[in-house]
Amino acid sequence: MLVLASQSPRRSEILRQAGISFTVRAVPVDETPLPGEPPEDYVQRLAEWKALAIASAPDEVVLGADTTVVVDNEMLGKPADAADARRMITMLAGRRHRVITGICLKRGAETVRDWAVTEVWFAPMSAVEIDAYAASGEPMDKAGAYAIQGLASKYVEKIEGCYFNVMGLPVALVYRHYRRFKYFTNSAALPRSL
């Protein structure tokens, strides 16, 4: 059984759509970046902390995940308020940015960490469009202050990489690692790829 160490409704939706059975069991962790921490290290560290924070049975695989948006070498987490959302959307409008998600799967003493990156191009947005989107409420619980599957979809001109990664969970990458835990019971038996 897969245990999702996240309260994110989007991650749950992605797993359900992929036909992966799971249960949710999550506890909050400190998401403060370490000084000078690269975004790839940051999201993997938080994913691991989330997975390790969950008590699990020997036959359970715990999945932790964390997503950040990077533009101008700045990591954009969840906005604090509408003004912060407006600031982030203004930074993204008319430009390319990266969405990076770290994952960690744990079964017993075995863990695996990985990450995925997707490049996203936003169309230019007017001040009125930015204000309207920030005021919609949609940006408030999302890294980078937007939802690719929601109202912001009309501004996404192109992506390179996994669409589901932008939603918060690179499901094909997760499944590649999960099936190793699911079908092989010890690390010596784990194949390098399936």
The domain tally of the chain equals 1
33 located within any domain = yes
Percent of the chain predicted with pLDDT > 90: 89
Query: 184: pLDDT confidence band, cut at 50, 70 and 90?
Result: low
Residues 3-57: pLDDT tens digits?
999 999 999 999 999 999 999 999 999 999 999 999 999 999 999 999 999 999 9
At which residue do the structure tokens 């982030």 appear?
88
Residue 182's pLDDT is 74
> Do the domain assignments include residue 109?
yes
For residue 103, tell me if it sits in a domain. yes
3-state percent breakdown (helix, strand, coil) of the chain, nearest 5: 40, 25, 35
Domain contains 75 = yes
The CATH number of residue 123's host domain is: 3.90.950.10
- Domain, as residue range, for 105: 2-189
Can you tell me the distance from the alpha carbon of 137 to that of 193, in angstroms, rounded to the nearest whole number?
A: 41
User: How many Å apart are CA 115 and CA 49, to the nearest integer?
Assistant: 15
Known catalytic residues?
A: 66
Q: Which residues contact 103 (CB under 8 A, 6 or more apart)?
A: 44, 47, 63, 64, 65, 113, 114, 115, 116, 169, 170, 173, 174, 177
List Cβ neighbours of 135 (8 Å cut-off, separation of 6 or more).
82
The whole model's pTM is what? 0.90
Residue 188: what pLDDT? 44
**Is residue 145 assigned to a domain?**
yes
Residue 108 lies in a domain: yes
C-alpha to C-alpha distances, 87 to 72, 78, 135, 146, nearest whole angstrom: 13, 12, 12, 12
Residue 194 lies in a domain: no
Asked if residue 54 belongs to a domain, the reply is yes
pLDDT tens digits, one per residue of 97-111: 999 999 999 999 999
